Structures are given as structure tokens and as C-alpha cells.
Amino acid sequence: MREVSEPTKEEKAVAKYLRFNCPTKSTNMMGHRVDYFVASKAVDCLLDSKWAKAKKGEEALFTTRESAVDYCNRLLKKQFFHRALKVMKKKPEKDVKKEKEKEKEKDKAKSDSGKEEEKKSKKDKDKKKDSEATDTKKEKSDDSPGSPKKKKDVKKKFKLEPHDDQLFLDGNEVYFWIYDPVHFKTFAMGLILVIAVIAATLFPLWPAEMRVGVYYLSVAAGCFVASILLLAVARCILFLIIWLVTGGRHHFWLLPNLTADVGFIDSFRPLYTHEYKGPRSSSKKSSSEKSDNKDSSKAQKSDSEDKSDSEKKDGDEEEDEDDNKEMDAGEERQSDTDSDRREDEGSQHSNGNDFEMITREELEQHTEEEEEDEEEQSETKPLTVQT
């Protein structure tokens, strides 16, 4: 009984650490706002705390998950927190019927849009011949609004109720806090607020310079607040003037977040917003014309690509023929040069032989002439002696 009624300082310190460091969520339970946490996250938080590390001369308080669970059971008995039970909220029958009807209408709309897109895709496939174009078409058809999309995960609503079996179990069990200590920040803010109130009540006792400075600051703050109020009225008047002049087609807001529930800096962002809410029939026509122009341009591109491919093939064939002709001409030139070389060599050989023949004949003639001259001399000599 003494342990249940009076928690120790260590238990208070551990409970305070869990209260401010373990992740919690808030919900309503039996008309009251409570903070709850999950058991597994509380055990992880304790194992990461300073009590899970051994100090000099002392053992660690939390060595395993089981030790942390046992300690949390002690805190549960000391009524720092209680075990709760999740109860899912059931929707009324009217809402269920409305959701079913909406789902049926969506399915019908998707089926109709899917049929129309299938027809369009068939026409486009007949026009296009390249495989790359068909691949891009399939990707676009997958991203189209008629294609089935994954349903978003809807969070189910639930409420908490006290559990009959008050035990701490490691897992996804839910526990709500009863222990709510005062945080140091809240204590400091309260202390500052009290001091500020006391200082304001002692304003007549302040020095003259400080009172004059506070007076000017108060006047500046009042002017700032008045300027914001005037700006809020002026932006409404400007919106009404533009709305009346354009017949409700243009919605122009200056500083749209000025009176919104945002921060001081975000209230001046963006500077303005503009929306057009007029008829959009012309835009639909223009979009249809653009789509037709895109289809025609794609068809023209495919035709031009086919022509360019055929021209490239023809050009390649002509280049091959020219190369073959040049090779033949080169071979003929080489054959001509070889034949000329051979003729030159033959002529050189023939000229050498002729030269040899000429020299031999001249020598023979020369020797014959010398012999005849000697015979004539021999005949003339005795004739002269007889006379």
C-alpha cells in the first residue's frame, strides 16, 4: 500500500522523462481531452535514456525490454497512466449509402472516359508508326484521368475507453497519461507574465525617460494596428470594384492572408492572388484545336522522318556506287601505269640491243675498208718500180 500511494523520486523522474520525451497524441475520451502513447515507443524511449547506461558503482536500471516493461508496470500501479482500449467509430447507415452511390457514379464515369480514351488511342496508333511514339502514348494513357488510380489511405476514426485489465504489455497497446507535471517553459512564461503585470502597475513610479519611451512605443503600435485595419477595409473595397467592373469574372485579392490564421510574416505572403471564373468554352475549343494541331504536327513529323530515312538510304546507296566507281577507276589507272612501266622497260632493253648491233656493223665495215686500202697500196708500189 505504501508503494502504491507514494512514488519515489526516481519513479517521478522516470515518469517525467517519459511524459516529455515519449511521442504522444491527443484525443477525446469520455468527454475529456487526454494524451496517449504506445507501449513499444515508451519501452524504446526508456532504453535510450540515461537510466539504461551503467554509472560508476551502480548498475543500469534498464538492461532489456523485459526490465523496462516491469518498471512500466510499477508506474502503472502508481497511477501515472492507465491502459485504454481503441474502439472504432461506426458510420451511420445514411452516410454508408451515400458513399456507395458516389462510388457507383465514379465507376460509371471512369468506364465512359476509359472507352473514349481507348478510341482515341486506336486512332493515334493508326497514324503513328514508330515504336517510341507508341511507348510515350501508353505512358500518357496511364497518367490520364480515366485510368484507375490507387485509393488514398483513409485514417479510421476511433475513440478510447478504459480497459478492464490494467497491465503494461510491450506492443501496440495504448495508454493515456494521468500524470501531468508542469513543464519548465510554462513555469518560466508564467513568472515573466507576473513580473510584467507588477511592472505595469508601477508605471507612475518609472523614470520620466522610460515613460516617454513607452508613450512613443504605444503610439507606434496603435498606428500599426490602425494601418492594418485600414488595409483590410481597402482590400475589400478593391475586390468589390474589380468584381463589379468585370461582372464577377475576375477575383483579385490584395494580401489574401492578411486576416487568415497564420503567422505574422505569412500574413503578408503572397502579395496578391488573381482568379478567373468566367466562361471557359473558348478555352476548351482552343485546347481541342491545340490537341488537333499537335496530332497533325506529330503525323507530319512522322512522315518527314520517313522521308528523311528514305532519302538517307538513297544517299547511302549513291555514295556506295560512287565509291565502287572510284575503286574501278583507281584499278584501271594502276593497270595502265603498270603496262606503261613494262613498255618503257621493254623499249630500254630494245634500244640497248640495237646500239650493240650498230657498233658491231660499223667495226666490221671499218676493218673491211682498212683491208681494201692496204691492198690498193700494195698494188701501186710495184708499178712505180717498173717504170
- Sorted by where each starts, the structural domains of the chain and their CATH numbers stand as 9-91+157-189 (1.10.10.10), 205-276 (no CATH)
Say what the pTM is: 0.42
The segments of the chain whose pLDDT lies below 70 read 1-5, 90-98, 110, 112-116, 118-156, 281-364, 366, 374-387
Could you tell me which residues come within 8 angstroms of residue 231 by beta carbon, excluding any fewer than 6 positions away? 255, 258
Q: Which of 75, 76, 64, 78 is nearest to 6 (CA)?
A: 78
Reduce the DSSP state of residue 190 to 3 states and report it. Answer: helix
- pLDDT, residue 85, reads 87
The whole-angstrom separation of Cα 128 and Cα 134 is 7
C-alpha distance from residue 304 to each of 134, 150, 225, 298, 309 (Å): 17, 40, 68, 10, 8
Contact 161, 29 (CB under 8 A): yes
Helix (H) or strand (E) holding 100: helix 93-127
pLDDT for residue 227: 94
Strand order in the sheet with 174-177: 25-29, 32-38, 174-177, 81-88, 158-162
Joined together, the cell numbers standing for residue 133 give 511514339
CB of 5 closer than 8 Å to CB of 42? no
What span, in angstroms and rounded, lies between the C-alpha atoms of 22 and 44? Answer: 9
65-77 vs 39-47: helix axis angle to the nearest 10? Answer: 110
What whole-number distance in Å separates Cα of residue 110 and Cα of residue 104?
A: 10
Shortest CA distance to 81 belongs to which of 205, 207, 174?
Answer: 174
Sign, CA dihedral 72-73-74-78, equals positive
Peptide bond into 270 cis (omega under 30): yes
pLDDT at 143: 47
Please list the alpha-helical segments (H only) found in 78-207: 93-127, 131-143, 184-201
CA angle (144 as vertex; 143, 147 as ends), nearest 5: 90
Q: Which residues contact 306 (CB under 8 A, 6 or more apart)?
A: 129
Q: Decide: 261 and 237 in contact? Cβ < 8 Å.
A: no
Please give the backbone phi and psi of residue 136, each rounded to the nearest 5 degrees, phi first: -65, -35
Name the β-bridge partners of 272.
Answer: 254
Q: Mapping DSSP to helix (H, G, I), strand (E, B) and coil, where does residue 212 land?
A: helix
Other CB atoms closer than 10 Å to residue 22's CB: what's the count? 18
**Which residues are paired to 39 by β-bridges?**
none
Four-residue CA torsion sign, 382, 383, 386, 387: negative
Cα separation, 70 vs 169, whole angstroms: 9
- Taking alpha carbons only, the member of 293, 209, 275, 189 closest to residue 239 is 275
Distance of CA 112 to the CA centre of its chain: 32
Give percent helix, percent strand, percent coil of the chain, each to the nearest 5: 65, 10, 25
Cell of 365: 665495215
Whether 28 contacts 22, CB under 8 Å: no
